[in-house]
Amino acid sequence: MCHEQGMALLSVSNKEGLIPFAQKLHRLGYTLLASGGTAQTLRAAHLPVVDVSEVTGFPEILGGRVKTLHPRIHGGILSRRTPEDNEVMARYDIPRIDVVVVNLYPFRSVWETGEVRLEEALELIDIGGVALLRAAAKNYKHVVVVCDPADYEWVADALSMNSLDETQRRKLAAKAFHHTAVYDAMIAAHLERFGETGNGASSLPQELILVLEKAQTLRYGENPHQQAALYTPWGVPVPFRQLHGKEMSYNNWLDLDAAWQAVQEFDSERPAVVIVKHGNPCGAAVADTLCDAYRQALASDSVSAFGSIVAVNQPLDVPTAEAMRELFIEVLVAPEFLPEALTLLQRKSRSLRLVQAGPVDIKVNWRTVVAGWLAQTSDKGDESDHREQWQVVTRRAPTPEEWVGLRFAWRVVKHVKSNAIVLARGTATVGIGAGQMSRVDAVRLAVWKAGDRARGAVLASDAFFPFPDGVEVAAAAGVKAVVQPGGSKRDDEVIATADRLGVAMVFTGTRHFRH
């Protein structure tokens, strides 16, 4: 039964390119070994095939669940071709298998066709194929393992010229292990969706299995000479759909992410707009109409808004679209675009990217660093935002109007890079100081941006004031109330300064650093 050249075991779900490859293997002297549908396909092409059951002496059982899981198959693959292994092979009449061609049940493609019950999903999990690939890849010095139809042609050519070296064999083995690793991770991710796994003690796992697939090749990275792509978790669709405009760039996605997360701070019952530039809000507002919210957000810093990303929390309507026609916007993201507004904006510019957003639920934030990956739960603390949970620490309490501004500014400052200061009047920002190395400089920047609008405004600080100087600068500009986490060693000095200057101050007890 065993040919001089050994056997080539073929068991593929994806039969693309199978016949030409099998024909070449046959011409090279390999005995073709197969089962099930693969054997039928080869026979239909008039190729001689040995059934796996002929080698094992055992029929397929359990409805095809067990075919190749047998010592006479895996022994033929795992033999190291040493005298000791050869003696075992001869004793048990185990044929040598020199080529293994396997790709796995289409777990992914079948799942993506629609809803699949758990029982159906379990039947799509390939057991024998994974075992064959792993065995062949482990023994790559003696066995050629092929899992990708794209490799058939060059592998056949190399075999015909006897030029398949160890480096190429090792690359094929690595590809096989990659294939099985991704496959197992897909299954794990899918089964987890049927219910929570683990004891729920922590949302940050001890070990992470993450399968990412390229969802989009981007125009470029942070700079034009850098390549970039968007990857998403397998099986999770991108929650944003581009309706118009040029391809997205790396920076577009970063700013879109910042803008969309920020606008989600506000209940969709009232229109809200956030304008982001270089990862930071430069304007945000809540108003009675979306158009008014946009105009107020733009007024916060109309210079910085040039070339910005704009996010809205309600369907984009015609008045707002009309108002936006005068500003150069890179990306506009909305939960929906009303037809007339969409047509109007599409006529504005090919450069304007219009993106429709779907539901997003971010539980864990990930970032890369030189050492690896950083993970943290999303900053959803302080969600209640009820003023009764905050502590008025000055002699003067905020007025009702100031309370409105403080609550609004506190939501916005959470999305500004630290050190972060937000000045607001009512439910609109008037000045933002972002990403400064000292908090007092962030205050100076915010009041400079606000100009005369700082008079009577309120201020939110993402972290405590380490010194009274920030409050002094704010009060000199006319700021009347401050919300901050508190917790500094100099809180007493800061509070005394606020009392001396007539500034109301509220402690929240919650910090909102964003780096």
- Residue 174 domain flag: yes
Radius of gyration over every alpha carbon of the chain, rounded to an integer in angstroms: 32
Q: Which of 278, 386, 414, 417 is catalytic?
A: 278
Could you tell me the residue range of the domain that residue 31 belongs to?
7-192
39, 173: one domain: yes
CB-based contact 1:50 (threshold 8 Å): yes
Distance of CA 84 to the CA centre of its chain: 50
Domain closes at, from 133, 163, 192? 192
In a domain? residue 378? no
Claim to verify: residue 330 and residue 287 sit in the same structural domain: yes
| Structure token pair of residue 338 | 């009303």
Q: Could you tell me if 153 and 257 lie in one domain?
A: no
Asked if residue 371 belongs to a domain, the reply is: no
Q: Which residues of the chain have pLDDT under 70?
A: 1-4, 58, 61, 63-64, 66, 106-121, 123, 191-203, 235, 381-388
Write down which residue in 341, 357, 373 finishes a domain: 357
In a domain, 364, yes or no: no
Q: Maximum CA pair distance of the chain?
A: 99
Residues 434 and 326 in one domain: no
Helices 166-192, 128-138: inter-axial angle, 10-degree rounding? 150
- The three-class DSSP label of residue 367 is strand
Residue 184's pLDDT is what?
82
Alpha-helical (H) ranges within 93-165 are 107-112, 118-123, 128-138, 152-160
Residue 153's CATH number:
3.40.50.1380
Is residue 404 domain-shared with residue 343, that is, in the same domain?
Answer: no
**Boundary residue ending a domain (192, 214, 229):** 192
Does residue 128 share a domain with residue 257? no
Q: What pLDDT, on the 0 to 100 scale, is given for residue 200?
A: 44
3-state secondary structure (DSSP) of residue 326 = coil
**167 and 111: one domain?**
yes
The pLDDT > 70 percentage for the chain reads 89
**158 and 85 together in one domain:** yes
Query: Tell me, what amino acid is at 258?
Result: A
Q: What is the pLDDT of residue 328?
A: 93
In a domain, 465, yes or no: yes
> Would you state the pLDDT for residue 350?
82
> Quick check: is 225 catalytic?
no
Backbone angles phi, psi at 444, to 5 degrees: -60, -45
The answer as to whether 184 is a domain residue is yes
When divided into structural domains, the chain yields a total of 3
Signed CA dihedral, 202, 207, 213, 218: sign only: positive
Inside any domain, residue 214: no
Same domain as 415, residue 346: no
What integer pLDDT is reported at residue 94 of this predicted model? Answer: 82
Which uninterrupted H or E stretch holds 51? strand 50-51
Torsion of CA 82, 85, 86, 92, to 10 degrees: 180
Q: Is 415 a catalytic residue?
A: no
3-state secondary structure of 102: strand
| Measured CA distances, 65 to 101, 110, 123, 133, 410 (Å) | 19, 18, 9, 17, 59
Residues 133 and 69 in one domain: yes
* Nearest of 458, 450, 453, 474 to residue 411 by alpha carbon: 458
Residues 49 and 177 in one domain: yes
Query: Is residue 215 in a domain?
Result: no
Q: What is the CATH number of the domain that holds 476?
A: 3.40.140.20
**Does pTM surpass 0.85?**
no
Q: What is the DSSP letter of 489?
A: T
Catalytic residue among 3, 138, 175, 246: 138
User: Is 250 found in the same domain as 288?
Assistant: yes
